[in-house]
Structure 1
Amino acid sequence: MRKRNRIKKNEDFQNVFKNGTSMANRQFVIYMLDQPNEKEFRIGLSVSKKIGKAVIRNQVKRYIRQVFLEEKQNILAGKDYIIIARKPAAEMNYHEVKKSLLHLFRKTKIYQKQAKES
Structure 2
Amino acid sequence: MGSLGKFASINEAKEFKKIYDEAKKWHCECAVVYFLASEQKKFAVVASKKIGKAVIRNRAKRLIKAAFLNIKNELKSGSFVIITKAGINEMKFGAIEKNLRWSFRKMDILK
- Which TM-score bucket, shorter chain as reference? 0.7 to 0.9
Secondary structure of 1:87's counterpart equals coil
Q: List gaps (5 residues or longer) in structure 1.
A: 113-118
* Counterpart Cα distance in 1 of 2:15 and 2:72: 21
Counterpart residue type for residue 56 of structure 2: I
Tell me whether 1:6 sits opposite 2:9 in the alignment. yes
Which residue number in structure 2 is paired with residue 47 of structure 1?
47
1:26 Cα deviation (Å)? 2.9
Q: List gaps (5 residues or longer) in structure 2.
A: none
CA-based RMSD of the aligned residues comes to 1.6
1:53 Cα deviation (Å)? 1.3
Which residue number in structure 2 is paired with residue 26 of structure 1?
29
Identity %: 31
Tell me whether 1:109 sits opposite 2:79 in the alignment. no
* Counterpart Cα distance in 2 of 1:83 and 1:108: 13
- Runs of 4+ in structure 1 displaced over 4 angstroms? none
Which residue number in structure 1 is paired with residue 79 of structure 2?
80
Which residue number in structure 2 is paired with residue 94 of structure 1?
93
For residues 55 and 93 of structure 1, do their structure 2 counterparts lie closer, same or farther at Cα, with a shift above 3 Å needed? farther
TM-score by length of 1: 0.82
TM-score by length of 2: 0.86
Q: Deviations over 1:30-72 (max 9, x none)?
A: 1111223x2xx21111111111111111111111111121212
1:2 Cα deviation (Å)? 4.8
1:9 Cα deviation (Å)? 1.1
Aligned residues: 108
* Counterpart Cα distance in 1 of 2:22 and 2:60: 26
Given that 1:52 and 1:90 are in contact with CA atoms closer than 8 Å, whether structure 2 keeps it comes out as no
